[in-house]
A and B are shown apart, each in its own frame.
Chain A
């Protein structure tokens, strides 16, 4: 499912809204989530999951082409942990 398919599905759920508002709402939610992470905040959606940042300490890496050593600075990477409901609904094997 892509973002545009998600918008189509939501528009079908909300026939009273104009499609433009549903489109805007989806983009607004995604922007707000990205902005929250970009300023170091967490996101917690009950039944879905939580997004947080994981720290990666500075390290010495290598340029794979030249073999040269390069200093890779510390950074944060986004991390998602699925919530209970999502975990259980997706796990059709277990």
Chain B
């Protein structure tokens, strides 16, 4: 039963379980992810207890290589997002075996 959860399914859930109308449910899901993006954009980490933390990492420039041509090109300094799952989420996922996961 390996499927992919998307914004559409999350909106359906808010429509069915929370009783938001379709428009509100769609906007709520969009707003949820937009608020997380905005916080990260402001340079704030995002801590969602029970789920996990989104953190920012500043990476310095490092040497890289074009894998096709072998040419050396520097990989510029950048800020990236990292996700650390909570202990609760890690424990829930760890119980899966290859039999459960057929994706």
Do A and B associate with each other? yes
Q: Contact residues of A with B, CB < 8 Å?
A: 1-3, 6, 9-10, 13-14, 16-17, 21-22, 24-26, 28-30, 32-34, 36-49, 51-53, 55, 74-80, 82, 85-87, 89-94
A-B contacts, 28 listed (Cβ < 8 Å): A1-B39, A1-B44, A1-B47, A2-B48, A6-B36, A25-B18, A25-B28, A30-B50, A32-B9, A32-B10, A33-B10, A34-B88, A34-B89, A37-B92, A39-B100, A40-B102, A41-B1, A41-B3, A41-B4, A42-B103, A47-B37, A49-B81, A52-B103, A53-B93, A77-B90, A78-B85, A78-B93, A90-B56
Bound CA–CA A13/B37 (angstroms): 15
For residue B71, give the distance in angstroms from its CB to the closest CB of chain A.
20
Judge whether A90 and B79 touch: CB under 8 Å.
Answer: yes
Q: Contact residues of B with A, CB < 8 Å?
A: 1-7, 9-10, 13-14, 17-20, 24, 27-29, 31-33, 35-37, 39-41, 43-52, 54, 56, 58, 76-83, 85, 88-90, 92-98, 100-103
List the 5 shortest-distance A-B pairs measured between CB atoms, nearest first. Answer: A80-B83, A40-B101, A38-B92, A94-B78, A1-B39
